[in-house]
Chain A
Amino acid sequence: MADRLTPLTVFGETAARVDRIGTLSIAERPDLALASLAARLGRLSSLEAVAPLVLGAPLPGVSRVAGDTIRAFWTGPEQWLVEAPYATHEDLAAVLKQGFGADASVTEQSDGWCAFDIAGAATLALLERLCAADTRAMAQGDVLRTTIEHLGCFIICEQPGASFRLWCARSSALSLHHALVTAAVALS
């Protein structure tokens, strides 16, 4: 039998990348599992009924995030992405499939996306250089999807004005990281 494979980050490393530029920190989060969840046609109400049991919280509404260890955020009509710690939930898609059964379509997305947590006093100034979204007006637990330097990204407000999580497609994560670091340097 072949040896087990070593997982690598988007940077080709085994450890997560963290950059500190001025007061800003930009931290890669490869320790998150991700799965997409979509209601089957006409099954939204039964999906909503089961959700608290599976996720520990009701499904979030439009542009909102809900949950704790397992956390869901709205991505489109009757669609969500679900996050959880990778170490304990590498099988997140299977867990969701088990829990939601025929009420939902579930797809493993852990490696489809890459998350960066950005925090610090200049977070809003950084986002103002990068995307058209009104991040200054975002409340805790708000989420939206927009583009940053041509890249589609989800932006989750963790702490208004101070801390945000960005999710972008894994294959272009280095380009997003480059854009974040370049803009951060320009601000410092």
Chain B
Amino acid sequence: MSQVNRLSGGRVDRGTTLSFAFDGKLYQGHPGDTLASALLANGVRLMGRSFKYHRPRGPLSAGSEEPNALVELRSGARREPNTRATVAEVFEGLVATSQNRWPSLAVDALSVNDRLSSFLTAGFYYKTFMWPKAFWEKLYEPAIRRAAGLGRLSGEADPDVYDKGFLHCDLLVIGAGPAGLAAALTAGRAGARVIVADEDFLPGGRLNAETITLDDAPARDWVAATVSELASLPNVRLMTRTTVYGAFDHGIFGALERVSDHLAVPKPGTPRQILWRLYAKRSLLCAGATERPIAFENNDRPGIMLAGALRAYANRWAVAAARDVAVFTNNDDGHRTARDLAAAGVHVTAVIDSRTDAPEIAGLPLFRGAVVTGTSGRLGLKSITVRNADGRTQEIACGALGVSGGWNPNLQLTCHHRGRPRWDETIAAFVPDGAPPGLRVAGAAAGIFSTHGALTGGAEGARAALADLGIPATLPDLPRAEDAPFRIAPLWQVKGKGRAWLDQQNDVTVKDVTLAHQENFRSVEHLKRYTTLGMATDQGKTANVPAIAVMAELTGKPIEQVGTTIYRPPYTPVAIGALAGRSRGADFRPRRLTPSHHWAQEQGAVFVEVGNWMRAQWFPRPGESHWRQSVDREVLATRQAVGICDVTTLGKIDVQGTDAAAFLDRLYCNGMAKLAIGRVRYGLMLREDGMVKDDGTVARLTENHFVVTTTTANAIAVFRHMEFCRQCLWPALDVQLISTTDAWAQFSVAGPKSRELLQRVIDPACDISNEAFPYMACGAVTVCGGLRARLFRISFSGELAYEIAVPARYGDGLIRALMAAGQDLGVTPYGTETLGVLRIEKGHPAGNELNGQTTAANLGLGKMVSATKDAIGITLSRREGMNRPDDLRLVGLKPLSPADTIVNGAHLMTGGSPVDAAHDQGWVTSSCHSPHVGGSIGLGFLKRGDRRTGEIIHVVNPLAGTDIRAQVVSPCFIDPEGVRLRG
């Protein structure tokens, strides 16, 4: 007994049968089916449980506005909760599971909530779980968390990929119904760049769900001809399965294309979804309208649906929701549903029209001035109770009830810039009033409900949009179409004793709105937050307007004065995966590789991410089982012989021009104007507020040519700052800047044998003896038989040291050459850990100390700040608050007991004082094991630290419960006179 409710006709491909499973049971459907249409065809109405009361629910709609029929789609890592069955396309092997129920959809333990409903009204969280206070964390919250939520996440990594993309157009048409297709045709024929996006997989919009004719032929003929013409135009891009979910500034729209959601598994390498960023000079919203229900007692049973949805299931999907169907309406459109259903062979048991002047409907039982007051059927509709105009009630058996309370234009995107819609009495609905610049609205989205109105509105909207851009367009010959007026007499609720649902997904009833009103939550924004109305995944597409109308009735205000809540993106949910795109895992951000990267990999280096750079952290050797063994060896080899480290990552900025020296003199707080050609100077850069921004070296290659270095992390920010100074502060200085970081492979060659090593690769014509090339010299040299190179005699380690740079493509060759040439010297590559140990031993500040909260004086570099010139930051660095007598100073720390270890972040306390913030003396910024000292050492900031050398201080780490004693020493643990680096 399969597909018992399948009718004839429709837009499904009966030539192919697809098998799928729902809650473990196998069913059959056809291509063109949604999960909801296929389940209805199989006689399944019950598809979910509601959020709060666990009420049995079936689909309310046939589209993206669906609040009820939410399922977990697929299985394993691809399991996706809260998928709307009304838009999920059926594919062979689809597996869906109902959610928010236990143990089964038909028997759900938590449906007890439904009996407790009088306690679970609006605001029950705020009122119920207040006392005793201690219960919140231990009892209430865990219990609520267990009960909350609808579907379950898979808990596994998403195996699919998501792309992003960017498209540009003259006109974006949102929606491919009659208005959108007419607009696209108009603009496409005019030669404009057009994008038409529709959330459905079948273009045509509402025309797919109707029996109406265009030029006396089925509407689908015109749709097919139009789509085929659009496809033939190279300037038109028709995007189906694509939801425009947000209107952002200046004609930028967000759109989500579901590329592979209709497939069991995406094709290898291809994305599941693409998040498009659309740049549209003009846009036309042709998003149609959404029907709204009427609130009456127990109006949420499976089988009670929007009338237009019943019609869509019959006409498009050839599905009758049940064999006996009734319709409850307050407008003429409900009659169309009844007629179409009857024509499709469905037995229409009653048309209940609340209007006493409702038009006649041939051959069908019409109840004028009547309303539905209640329903029965625990897991699906069995009958409805109708109160006639004369007050008599009667019960009518039916398996489905189509409800139409009118239609709401889909105007959400017009409100994404805080536009507020206007109430239109004639259609009893909000219509757009103003929109983001460049956006027009046509068709039902504009409140024009006739097909003729949609076609002409779309075409004229496109022509007007193109006229703005100076592109002439002529209106196409549009087909003849129905132009019936829309007649409605508003009816929002049928008052009764029981619960009448407004927001079915979040279980908000008329009673909840009444309670909110009683408790004075009357503003529509308060109503929303107090009752959670419209806050579910469907964003209240079917719920908001009826609830606003009920609130209007309660307050006695007209609806337009109650107003709407603010619509924000996204129009329908967008998965986090789509927002992340390819930026996941290893591809979260790009990686920068040093020129010696491939060589370091061969050496088995352990890498660390610094900024985006991958740097060698240390180079383990056979037999070394702990990183400390490697690092200690690298440190000692550098101090005793020679070590090599890739320092390409330091920012290198080329500064040229006749005013380059003057410019640099204003950027650094120490003097740069008189730096000699062929010399390097350490430079300290302040922020304008007087704090240290960055440090580095400034090398003068020629009179008008400098190369400055920045720290690895600050390279981009420093360049930006320098361009700001050049363009905004001193635009008449002759100075040109360009980054040259990547162009040069730069290696630090450090240690007493560094000169000897370099002399073996630097061409003999270049004299790098101590006399010819002293400490802080720089210049051009050639290496390995004429290759251009730059040599800087600078030292971060405190040893005799150089940095040598060659064009990056030769970096791999150079490190291999240095390693080969220095084998007998004990040359050792070292990584960032050793770099850190060497600089801590030498007392050089780095990122830990240059943290944006330190002054030059804190670092012990106060004397570098010029007293005689103006440079960035100097004036404000003199402020009193930054020059207190008890200011922090950088100090060295050495444990009294060699067994003790100093850790970063530990606080410095005076012996005997309480360990609290009030008595804090400072903290440890950097620490390491020093092979040179033979124990743990640290750098830190200490109040009046420059005057406390020799003092014994407590190094306290309350997190680990340690408290050790250390001596305050000079931050420079090695060669304080600087003999080594000048040797």
Which residues on A are within 8 Å of B, measured CB to CB?
1-10, 12, 30, 36, 38-42, 79, 105, 107-113, 128-129, 131-134, 136-137, 149-151, 169-172, 174-176, 178-179, 182-183, 185-186, 188
Contacts and interface: CB of A to CB of B under 8 A. Distances in A.
Given A7-B809, A12-B812, A150-B589, A128 B165 contact: yes
Nearest to B599: A12
17 contacts: A1-B785, A4-B784, A5-B813, A9-B809, A42-B734, A79-B738, A107-B738, A110-B743, A111-B808, A112-B742, A113-B742, A129-B163, A129-B274, A149-B583, A150-B590, A151-B590, A186-B163
B736 A109 contact: no
Interface in B533-560: none
Contacts of B130: none
A151 B813 CA distance: 27
Contacts of B761: 2
A156 B154 CA distance: 44
Interface stretch (B654-662, B838-846, B882-890): B654-662
A36 B742 CA distance: 13
A105 B656 contact: yes
Interface in B610-632: 612-613
Given A5-B813, A111-B807, A171 B738 contact: no
Contacts of B738: 36, 38, 79, 105, 107, 109
B279 A129 contact: no
Contact of B598 (A6, A12, A133, A179): A12
A176 B592 CA distance: 10
A7 B813 contact: yes
A6 B582 contact: no
Contact of B279 (A10, A30, A134): A134
A108 B809 contact: no
B388 to A, nearest CB: 61
A188 B590 CA distance: 23
Contacts of B745: 111
A129 B590 CA distance: 16
Nearest to A171: B592
B578 interface: no
Given A2-B761, A40-B734, A105-B736, A175 B166 contact: no
B343 interface: no
B161 A132 contact: no
B760 interface: yes
Contacts, number: 159
Contacts of B277: 132
Given A107-B738, A109-B743, A183-B163, A171 B817 contact: no
Given A5-B813, A169-B741, A186-B269, 15 more contacts: A1-B764, A3-B784, A5-B784, A12-B812, A40-B657, A41-B657, A41-B659, A107-B743, A111-B808, A134-B279, A171-B592, A171-B648, A172-B591, A174-B593, A182-B582
A112 B732 contact: no
A136 B168 contact: yes
Nearest to B723: A76
Contacts of A4: 784-787
- B269, B809, B821, most chain A CB atoms within 10 A: B809
Contacts of B590: 149-151, 172, 175-176, 179
Scoring B592, B704, B783 by chain A CB atoms within 10 A of each residue's CB, the highest score goes to B592
A30 B809 contact: yes
A6 B787 CA distance: 11
B916 interface: no
Nearest to A21: B269
Contacts of B51: none
Most buried by A among B587, B594, B738, B787: B738
A87 to B, nearest CB: 13
A35 to B, nearest CB: 10
Nearest to A108: B743
A6 B595 CA distance: 13
B248 to A, nearest CB: 13
A6 B763 CA distance: 16
B784 A186 contact: no
B743 A112 contact: yes
A107 B742 CA distance: 12
A186 B812 contact: no
Interface in B134-168: 161, 163-168
Nearest to B652: A112
B616 to A, nearest CB: 14
B810 interface: yes
B393 interface: no
Contact of A128 (B166, B763, B809, B810): B166
Contact of A137 (B168, B582, B592, B784): B168
Give the top 7 A-B pairs by smallest Cβ distance, nearest first. Answer: A5-B813, A112-B743, A175-B590, A105-B656, A12-B598, A41-B734, A111-B808
A6 B813 contact: yes
B736 A40 contact: yes
B756 to A, nearest CB: 14
A132 B808 CA distance: 30
A107 B592 contact: no
B595 to A, nearest CB: 8
B197 to A, nearest CB: 15
Nearest to A148: B590
Nearest to B762: A2
B407 interface: no
Contacts of A170: 742-743, 808
Contacts of B113: none
A12 B597 CA distance: 9
Interface in B799-835: 806-810, 812-814, 817, 821
A79 B593 CA distance: 27
A43 B164 CA distance: 44
Contacts of B812: 6, 8, 12
B784 to A, nearest CB: 4
A112 B741 contact: yes
Find the residue from A12, A105, A182 having the highest chain B CB count within 10 A.
A105
